[in-house]
Amino acid sequence: KAGVTQTPRYLIKTRGQQVTLSCSPISGHRSVSWYQQTPGQGLQFLFEYFSETQRNKGNFPGRFSGRQFSNSRSEMNVSTLELGDSALYLCASSLGTGGGGYTFGSGTRLTVV
């Protein structure tokens, strides 16, 4: 059974640019959550999508957005990048119906210069 796939693994962007990250969940999982991991703030919840709808949202500015497609794949977008957006971005998939653990991908390492 394939795990959670995140692409790309590494990304370098310039301040002011925008970026799109992709996450393919485990087959049959309908929920995808996104997290930002930094040394200073740890793992912080960004948002969660279930059946193409954003079901929950963390405390991040509107520059951070996401979407989910009918095949449950999800993308997150960050516009007008800032240096502080440099982080490991992780997505986690789950059944989304309660219970069960959350399986994480390997993440996308974003560096903003």
Partner 1 sequence: GQQLNQSPQSMFIQEGEDVSMNCTSSSIFNTWLWYKQDPGEGPVLLIALYKAGELTSNGRLTAQFGITRKDSFLNISASIPSDVGIYFCAGQLKGSSNTGKLIFGQGTTLQVKP
- The nearer residue to partner 1, 86 or 106, going by C-beta atoms, is 106
Q: Does 15 bind partner 1 (CB under 8 A)?
A: no
Rounded Cα distance, 30 and 1, in Å:
15
CA atoms within 13 A on the CB side of 103: 19
Nearest to 13 by CA among 60, 64, 81: 81
Closest alpha carbon to 58 in 50, 42, 47: 47
Rounded CA separation 34/113 (Å): 22
Residue 48 binds partner 1, judged by CB under 8 A: yes
The only residue of 19, 26, 31, 85 in contact with partner 1, by rule CB under 8 A: 31
Contact between 80 and partner 1 per CB under 8 A: no
**58 contributes a contact to partner 1 by CB under 8 A:** yes
Count of residues near partner 1 by CB under 8 A: 29
Residues making contact with partner 1 (CB under 8 A):
4, 6, 31, 33, 35, 42-43, 45, 48, 50, 55-56, 58-59, 90, 92, 94, 96, 98-107, 109
